[in-house]
Amino acid sequence: MKIATWNINGVKARIDTVLSWLEQSAPDIACLQEIKSVDENFPREAFEALGYNVETNGQKGFNGVAIFSRLPFDEVNRGLPGDDDDEQARFIEGVFSTSNGVLRVVSLYLPNGNPVDSDKFPYKLGWMDRLDAWARERLALEEPLVLAGDYNVIPMPGDCHDPAVWEGDALYRPESRGAFRRLANAGFTDALRAVTDAPETYTFWDYQAGAWQKNNGIRIDHLMLSPEAANRLESVDVEKHVRGWEKPSDHVPVVAQMAF
């Protein structure tokens, strides 16, 4: 089974690109972020025509997450628990039945957090605290769980082209990286780093300053796996070539092959 995550940076602007990718890569489950569409306007029919069941947690103009699955959804949960006042659409969980039992998959889009001297940084850290609490509760179920998404966190110095450039940025601040490490300490495995420690393995290149052409990238899109999911991990591929397509997102898909 192929499980993918990709921040598409707007379904309206990128629908043809996403359709082409789905046809070529053919993931069984695709977790998308920044769909930038309310649920009722999301062009689900185009994706359903490719054989996907589609569930979204959308928001007008920004944010928004989705899960496409060739498996039917047994259950869908929208919104990260812990703050009833948080109206930002950044979290959706799908539950599926497989021949090997239950599979839980989350598409998440963590807050950017910049500028750090605004209320956006405390919101980011608070969101990560809520994610950690929720994820630890899910771990108690002892089921395969994949937390897939744009974390807006650069975990280690080797996950960016030049750490000095990112000093002080919310994506690289010690508080953000520490919150990401707490997931690992709870028992989650960073899928990509479980299979490779290769340098310059990036998932995002800014549109500005020739970042793509210079390979000035960062790794902020991650698949974090519960122990039961990590035991089924076979391989991980960063589909870097998609960044070179016409009208690309500034992110690329990260795809895990898993034994389900």
In the set 109, 151, 172, 202, the catalytic residue is 109
Domains of the chain: 2-258 (3.60.10.10)
In the set 52, 169, 190, 251, the catalytic residue is 251
Helices 120-139 and 174-186: angle between axes, nearest 10 degrees: 10
User: Is 109 a known active-site residue?
Assistant: yes
pTM: 0.98
On whether 100 is known to bind a ligand per the annotation, the reply is no
On whether 39 is known to bind a ligand per the annotation, the reply is no
Give me the pLDDT at residue 89, please: 98
In the set 150, 169, 190, 221, the catalytic residue is 150
Report the candidate in 211, 217, 177, 173 with the shortest Cα–Cα distance to residue 198: 217
Give me the pLDDT at residue 39, please: 98
Mean pLDDT by 10 residues, the chain (260 residues): 98 97 98 98 98 97 97 98 96 96 98 98 98 98 98 98 96 98 97 96 96 97 98 98 97 97
On whether 41 is known to bind a ligand per the annotation, the reply is no
